[in-house]
A = this chain, B = another copy of it.
Amino acid sequence: MPTDTTRMNGPAIHAVDPWARGNDPLPARHQLLSDDERAQLAKIASVVRFRKGEQICHEGGAADAVFNITSGVVIAYRTLAKTEHVVSFLYPGDLFGLSEEGRYTNATRAATPVVAYKMPLAAVRHILDRNTSLDVDVIIKLCGELREAQRHALLLAQKRAATRLAMFLDLQERLQIVRGEPAVEIYLPMDRSSIAAYLGLTLAAVGRAFRTLLSRNIISTRDRHHVKILDRDIFSGLADMHLVQNTKKTHGRL
């Protein structure tokens, strides 16, 4: 179910304003580009499609284009010692092929069927230089990606597998809400092995972590791609689990 946030009239970048003050219950995300900017980009962009599982960028390949996702989900990953590490999951409104050094640092692959805009790097740089207010948009987007990368690191710093998984689900739900999609249940487009690669765990460990959360009635699953969170407090609950299990259970209905 790719979202149709954009009416297909050009590239679209979605992000939350990093400066917006105010105690938002939920940070608001908007379309960053003005019609004019979209038009400019549209002129240099071409629409490309990828089948599920199809490779898009090769790690270390010459970075000659930037992509902007219209629909579908993309996996950015790196391969270290024959092991794939998922760097991030990219959704419609996201940019990739960016933040390189002449060559792609991350490889990318379609997690679902993907439609995207492809823009030659040279042309994009040219527009940036001509100094549209576009660079501010890019800054905002980068801030968002940076925050997400740091949150990913925070997740990976957790020692318990169940904690990592809970944080991951929490993160996915949050992103889903921010994207404006219904969030009664969490949609996980990627398969277990990608989740494992994102969590820095083995397939087996992810499986067990799911079973742990399930058996404690913290989550329920409709199928492998749809999870519902039953206990809203698990996240904080799991974060200090090491205390929880030694002392009294705070709110864990076991």
Partner-B contacts on A (CB < 8 A): 16-22, 27, 78, 80-82, 85, 87, 98-102, 105-106, 121, 125, 128, 131, 133, 135-136, 138-139, 142-143, 145-147, 149-150, 152-154, 156-159, 197, 200, 236, 239-240, 243
Contact = CB atoms under 8 A, between A and B. Distances in A.
Which 7 pairs from chain A and chain B are nearest by CB? A157-B200, A156-B156, A149-B149, A81-B240, A142-B142, A81-B239, A21-B102
Contact of A20 (B16, B78, B102, B158): B102
A78 B154 CA distance: 9
Contact of A19 (B27, B106, B125, B158): B125
The quantity of this chain's copies bound in the complex is 2
Nearest to A144: B99
A156 B240 contact: no
A85 to B, nearest CB: 5
A158 B132 CA distance: 42
A171 to B, nearest CB: 13
